[in-house]
Amino acid sequence: MNTTDAMNLRNLRAWLKSWGKWWAAQEAGMGYASVSITYRMMQTGQLGIISSSDKHLYSHGADSITPPDWVASMDKMVEQLQPNQRQIIARRYIKLHLISGAQKRLLLTAEAALLSR
């Protein structure tokens, strides 16, 4: 989000949606594999070769995620919220859960807290 734009609820929600999409895309590759690591290693041992899709099984280096500045800026704002507010923001904007009832009030409170920063 451009810092010269007036920050209102509409702009905040648009920024949160973009932020959530960015983090959801980062998490998308971190799910469980369709084939277990043990089975893949067994196949690799039987075949005696490592296919390109199996090379990650032998890499012990951690990949670091370096978010863009605008994502890091929103991260800092969200980190300052109360734990239940951080959770509801993540549920709504990263996990895309539908929010209703008392959770909707909590979400609005969290958004208002972000607007006040």
List, for residues 87-108, the tens digit of each pLDDT value.
999 999 999 999 999 999 999 9
CB 25 within 8 A of CB 45: no
Q: Is residue 3 part of a domain?
A: no
Domain that includes residue 96, residue range? 9-115
Q: How many other CB atoms are there within 10 angstroms of residue 57's CB atom?
A: 13
Q: Is residue 21 part of a domain?
A: yes
| Residue 58 per-residue DSSP state | G
List, for residues 35-63, the tens digit of each pLDDT value.
566 766 666 665 555 555 544 554 444 45
Q: Is residue 29 part of a domain?
A: yes
Q: Is residue 2 part of a domain?
A: no
CB-count exposure of residue 3 (10 Å: 0-12, 13-18, 19+) = exposed
Q: Is residue 4 part of a domain?
A: no
Residue 106 — φ and ψ, nearest 5°?
A: -65, -40
Q: Is residue 1 part of a domain?
A: no
Name the domain count of the chain.
1
Residue 99 — φ and ψ, nearest 5°?
A: -115, 135
